[in-house]
Structure 1
């Protein structure tokens, strides 16, 4: 009896060991799956690895500019050794003016080699700090690396000048930056209250409606529909390789965000619905500026969006 019980005990011990090993493998697998479930896009503007970005939105593969996601909120004049410099600290009120600046690289020299982003080597934005003034222009660069942004009439107050760029050489090659500096426009600097959050607005006879429940720090789809005289618009023309260009600025600090289009461009018959990939890092009110083109004319619609 004693000798016959030893094989049984040995088999039971081996079975227990096997069960323990299987349990360890299961626990290890659970641990690894927990890491991969983190929400993509939590770091606004940073370039996500391919697996994460591919799961952030069903239509991410259609996005014409997802490889151009600017790093950070743009509230600094320097990042990773690149600096936005300018001698212009003030600009005149009530008339056209040129803002001149340069981008200095880590080697201390002006950067002159830039990659195209949505058909342009540089996107430049002027935004009044109360978010009631907005201009988006494409400056020109001289041979020495000095840029000139021709701005329309500016209202008195404090303005922030944003430069969105991608070096095409050097240590920052292929990396997208948004750098900014502030400028004062002399005169009455009374702030204008920001319009209340709304889901629709009107510009040049068009009605623009925005849908999407956005949460700070999370990737969400945002849809925009455009109508005129109560009828859906289907004649949107390509503008900067897309049917609409959408930027947003945060109330209080004017932090910058570019909402990336996901709708494919198929000729001069875009609309009425447009889709965007939205990653707004901070809760509060954001002022959205949507630019779209019809009949060769550019329209700019603005509305306030609340982000929870």
Structure 2
């Protein structure tokens, strides 16, 4: 086989691997419906919820590599599955072409990095470090080959908050996965988490996640990233990104440290979503994962098995 044929065959293989996910994503509605009065977004994604004010009709976060005058420049677009790799990237200001070095911290961090597989069975919440020149880096170990999406959630100093996304490939023997079944309870590391509430497309929805251990309510959750819980939701298909924040915060005089953590969220369209809840107890962060359907009839609670290692958090969550 000559070089030209080899290149053509390689390109065809890539298209077969990633084309399906892209095609599903483009078929989904990227724009949120209007919110009920009083809803508010922080300005960087129509899916995000807040308190008071109005909501703009904007595409969900993470679908664009460039937005608002900034670009996510992923310097490590390919890693090897099963091997720890230093993932490097930068946020570049389009007008100047320079890497951003000044950020406004949100939830105790200048930048939050999420890495998720296209089938939503692998999830990483990472906190990279920034060099003086604006280059971010963090070790990442992805267990399986296939397509992944990298999300950078940040707020440049003096600018609006943004969530940008870029594709990442993990090389190796590829076996497609399937979206985990719908369920309202999850078990992780001896903890049980129950999800109450449903997602309604185009409307604010109340979600409550209750943490227990050995059948007893956990009433001493520890603050993590400025809250008692941290919820990320990704839409199946195009991986539109929803970064939800809890109602209330530690020290506000009304919010209790468990067992219940409440959120208000909006799904931009009907369909399947994967929810990942981070919570901290006994000095360690754990992640409970759920699959839910917005716009679908409620189903009876279905327990899910303990999340495997591919849902684990980065090591700095333990400090």
Same fold at TM > 0.5? yes
**Residue 152 of structure 2 is aligned to residue 163 of structure 1:** yes
Question: Match of 1:288?
Answer: 275
CA distance in structure 2 between the partners assigned to 1:85 and 1:36 by the alignment:
32
Which stretches of structure 1, 4 residues or more, deviate above 6 A after TM superposition? 46-49
**Aligned-pair Cα RMSD in Å:** 2.6
**Residue 122 of structure 2 is aligned to residue 136 of structure 1:** no
Question: Match of 1:89?
Answer: 77
Alpha-carbon offset, residue 87 of structure 1: 2.9
Gaps of 5+ in 2: 1-33, 296-319
Pairs within 5 Å for 1:196-235 = 196-235=181-220
CA distance in structure 2 between the partners assigned to 1:227 and 1:279 by the alignment:
26
Q: Secondary structure at the match of 1:208?
A: strand
* Number of aligned positions between the proteins: 254
Alpha-carbon offset, residue 128 of structure 1: 0.4
CA distance in structure 2 between the partners assigned to 1:140 and 1:307 by the alignment:
35
Question: Match of 1:77?
Answer: 65
1:201-238 Cα offsets, whole Å, 9 max, x none, are: 11011111111122112111111111111111112100
Where relative contact order (Cα < 8 A, 6+ residues apart) is larger, the structure is 2
Alpha-carbon contact 1:92-1:154 (below 8 Å) kept: no
Question: Match of 2:287?
Answer: 300
Alpha-carbon contact 1:112-1:143 (below 8 Å) kept: yes
1:93-149 Cα offsets, whole Å, 9 max, x none, are: 102111111111132211110000000001001000000000001111111111112
**TM-score, structure 2 as length reference:** 0.74
Query: Over alpha carbons, which structure has the higher Rg?
Result: 1
CA distance in structure 2 between the partners assigned to 1:285 and 1:306 by the alignment:
4
Question: Match of 1:29?
Answer: none
Alpha-carbon contact 1:44-1:217 (below 8 Å) kept: no
Between 1:264-273 and 1:191-200, the stretch displaced more is: 264-273
Alpha-carbon offset, residue 48 of structure 1: 7.8
**TM-score, structure 1 as length reference:** 0.76
Question: Match of 1:14?
Answer: none
Whose helix proportion is higher, 1 or 2?
1
CA distance in structure 1 between the partners assigned to 2:190 and 2:49 by the alignment:
38
Gaps of 5+ in 1: 1-34, 54-69
Q: Secondary structure at the match of 2:222?
A: coil
